[in-house]
Structure 1
Amino acid sequence: MTLLSGLTLLIVFVLMLILSVPISVSIVIASIVTILLLLPFDMAIFTSAQKLVTGIDSFSLLAIPFFILSGILMNNGGIAERLVNFAKVLVGRMPGALAHTNIVGNMLFGSLSGSSVAAAAAIGGVMGPLQKKEGYDPRFSAAVNISSAPTGLLIPPSGTLIIYSLVSGGTSVAALFLAGYLPGILWGIACMIVAFIVAKRNSYPVSERVTFKIAFKTFIDAIPSLMMIVVVIGGILAGIFTATEASAVAVAYSLILSLIYRTVKIKDLPRIIMESVELTSVIMLLVAGSAVMSWVMSFTGIPQAISNLIMGISSNPIIILLILNIFLLIIGTFMDITPAVLIFTPIFLPIVTSFGMDPIHFGIMMVMNLSVGNITPPVGSALFAGVSIAKLDLEDVMKPIIPFYVAIIIALLLVTYIPAISMVLPELLGY
């Protein structure tokens, strides 16, 4: 019966996606069809409705709409240009300095906005014309921008890590935030290494020397934007407020900053709030639908069956983690990161904890892995945003972005097999 249930769930789900049914609706329909094999119609519908409601009945999930609103305010608040100027100072006069500026800018802005698409659009929109003016190949510039855009999904505050915390059974959000720093930075460094090699080979220009006065002024201009990270993460670690309360603080801070910069007016707030409501409703429906699917899978014994299948292939943790990485990379190419985390965490987390892997380490590995799907076809949202901003065709970008894919996969394997990269900061600070 487990095999029949699993096949039914998979076939109906894939069929719904092929028919272009929204993924949240596809999840619910596939789950209900599957549970009808085992329960009477009235009981199946009643229980599914209960799970829809209880799936989003969580105080921790309040952080999601607030962080979304904060990110949209930041995206509308003229933050990108100040962070780009600051990134220029950080990278100095390295070969291909503007490419490195793009990468660092994406790391900074992505962490503030919590969106790879926002980073690719905002930073790419600023850096693309500058790089073209300096003689950079537009295809290379687009590849740099796209490949580094998802770093903000790891560098906190990250809404994806909050969702993982919920679905994994209450893994510490503060610990996950701390654990995301080094892997996110490692991703950025991997992209910078590739950019350095390509820039050196093509003799791309270095930036002009910046005087101490200009560098100091640029740093001062960027401090208010950078302080949001300090206030939010520092407040959580100091125990001043929880991650959920921190999300509300982030909204207040980003709103005040945007009003001070005069890049957001009071009349813009209804539009911004409506945009955040629409995005929040999409995510919450995904969370609710995934709660139904998780219950159906648990009821039918699907996770245990998958666990037995994988453990039957090998009991070696190295091989198992390699299998999970390959599977998640494939999943990430056609499924958005949020539903993927919601669906596959309950399946894979028991497998990795059975051989002693920390849930924090696995969460970072999983989110980093699925984030690659943001920049790969056929549905990579950051990929298409970056291509659109650069005014190029997808085919133009695929060849120059391949070296970045290789570097990112190497970084992923390092994070997978060297737990200290994820765990050193949480352990150092007592998490």
Structure 2
Amino acid sequence: MGALTAVAVLFGAFFVLLFTGVPISVSLGIASFVTALAFLPWDDSTYIIGQQMNVGIESFSLLAVPLFIFAGNVMNTGGIARRLVDLALVAVGRVPGALAHTNVLANMLFGALSGSAVAAAAAIGSTLHERQRKAGYDPAFGAAINIASAPTGLLIPPTTAAIVYSTVAGGVSVSALFMAGYVPGILMGLVIMVIAFAFTRREKYPKVDRVTAAEAFRVLLGAIPGLLLIVVVVGGIVLGVFTATEGAAVAVLYTLVLSLAYRSMSWTALKDVVTRTVVATGIVMFLIAASAGMSWVMAYTGIPTAITQALLSVADSPVVVLVLMLILLLVVGTFMDITPAILIFTPILLPIAEEVGMDPVQFGMVLILAMCIGTMTPPVGSVLFVGTGVSGVSIEQVVPKLLPYFVGLVLLLIAVTFIPALSLGLPGMMGLLD
């Protein structure tokens, strides 16, 4: 009865606050405090919730989050996006609908470097929008391609989503999560390309002019310094040369030096980058602190255990349990951004996933991929809003164009859920799994 009461109070208060316009982090904090009051005296509730919020952000590994955010902002401003677009255009320029495939490949490359779907959608979308318009592309189609492919960077490392999940899940290796994200992230890009190919061929969207070998070499040479960031950061983390936090610091230094070498970062632009990083870090860290209070309340009242037992009592089959979990995650993704979703639902759903035999690393990939899909769906899809904004089209125009990609990515999500090798094969080969 205690757990049932806690569920009603905690989630009832949270959703009431959320739907009345209170920010997610504040809603989490208030709902956690109110639930604690239902079981503990005022003084104990105040002290414990405050203590847990402090403990939640008192982690060396979480320093990687603001550092990667800063590195992503530097890349978004420092001219790296344009060079990656040029490289992607050389790679797929002879394919029908070349600019659509360029958008996907550039988002995969830039997202992998920045770790931010929103930054990728803004940088790559704004770079390619005018080119696509001049080539006769439907603006809504171009926006849909950009929106669907921008979240690939949340899977392809280095990514802050994996770092946040590792912190919440406890004991899950960041290196294993980074390696686990490559195959699902690349498959996500390929699924989008296959669907886009069908539409571009039907609409007879053009190829681009063939470039000379010398021009292709020049483009590759310009993009290599940016691409080396992945090798340096991810390679260093996986090989144990440095931790994820130290790797993030290396990424910051590398991107700053690269931007200065490109002569594309002024002092005014750097000041703006620092300001945006501080604001974003404050939002994320307060969110993590508030979710730590909620995690303690759930653990104290036995909510995860009660939900696990209830779900397993309703469905005996692991397949049914996993399908119900996927439906829940897809619904959650439509109204919640990736970071709060990871913070709130990892403590609830991870025990269920482990109970039916799913590895925590695989569950992390399933959770992140499901939230990737959520970023492109209304009503709260952050990438959806950014993608429509940079393309100058309405959400009503874009959503119908997004439906084929949504279906394809849901099928990919099912595959990643029921084929462990897609996420566990690479980290297993490298000896990163326990």
Query: What TM bracket, shorter-length normalisation?
Result: over 0.9
Shift of 1:245: 0.4
Give the partner amino acid of 1:295. W
Q: Structure 2 CA distance, aligned partners of 1:118 and 1:64?
A: 15
Change in 2 beyond 3 A, CA 1:267/1:135: closer
Match runs of 1:84-163 below 5 Å:
84-163=85-164
2:181 partner SS: helix
Give the partner amino acid of 2:70. L
Task: State yes or no: 1:259 paired with 2:260.
Answer: yes
Give the partner amino acid of 2:231. V
Shift of 1:266: 3.3
Match runs of 1:210-249 below 5 Å:
210-249=211-250
The worse-fitting range, judged by mean Cα deviation, of 186-195 and 1-10 is 1-10
Partner of 1:290: 291
Shift of 1:369: 0.5
Task: State yes or no: 1:315 paired with 2:289.
Answer: no
Match runs of 1:129-208 below 5 Å:
129-208=130-209
User: Identity of aligned pairs, percent?
Assistant: 52
Q: Structure 2 CA distance, aligned partners of 1:98 and 1:267?
A: 32
Partner of 2:271: 270
Q: Structure 1 CA distance, aligned partners of 2:353 and 2:30?
A: 29
**Cα deviations by residue, 1:109-143 (Å, 9 ceiling, x for unpaired):** 11111111111111011111111111111111111
5+ residue gaps, structure 1, are none
Give the partner amino acid of 2:7. G
Shift of 1:268: 3.3
2:77–2:269 CA contact under 8 A, matched in 1: no
Shift of 1:370: 1.1
Q: Structure 1 CA distance, aligned partners of 2:401 and 2:357?
A: 39
> So what's the TM-score if we normalise by structure 2?
0.98
> So what's the TM-score if we normalise by structure 1?
0.98
Give the partner amino acid of 2:30. I
Q: Structure 2 CA distance, aligned partners of 1:298 and 1:128?
A: 48
2:169–2:347 CA contact under 8 A, matched in 1: yes
**Cα deviations by residue, 1:166-223 (Å, 9 ceiling, x for unpaired):** 1101200011001001101111111101110001111111122222111111111100
2:93–2:99 CA contact under 8 A, matched in 1: no
Aligned length: 431
Shift of 1:267: 4.2
Give the partner amino acid of 1:6. V
Task: State yes or no: 1:345 paired with 2:322.
Answer: no
Partner of 1:375: 376
Q: Structure 2 CA distance, aligned partners of 1:271 and 1:203?
A: 42
**Cα deviations by residue, 1:122-165 (Å, 9 ceiling, x for unpaired):** 10111111111111111111110111010000001100100100
Partner of 1:396: 397
**Cα deviations by residue, 1:318-356 (Å, 9 ceiling, x for unpaired):** 211111111011011111111110111111111111232
**Cα deviations by residue, 1:229-274 (Å, 9 ceiling, x for unpaired):** 0110111122211111000000000000011111112343333212
Q: Structure 2 CA distance, aligned partners of 1:150 and 1:271?
A: 24
**Cα deviations by residue, 1:361-401 (Å, 9 ceiling, x for unpaired):** 11011011011111100010100111011111111111111
1:375 partner SS: coil
5+ residue gaps, structure 2, are none
Shift of 1:3: 1.3
Q: Structure 2 CA distance, aligned partners of 1:269 and 1:96?
A: 36
Q: Structure 1 CA distance, aligned partners of 2:93 and 2:129?
A: 19
CA RMSD of aligned residues (A): 1.0
**Cα deviations by residue, 1:67-107 (Å, 9 ceiling, x for unpaired):** 01100101110111100010012214111111000000011
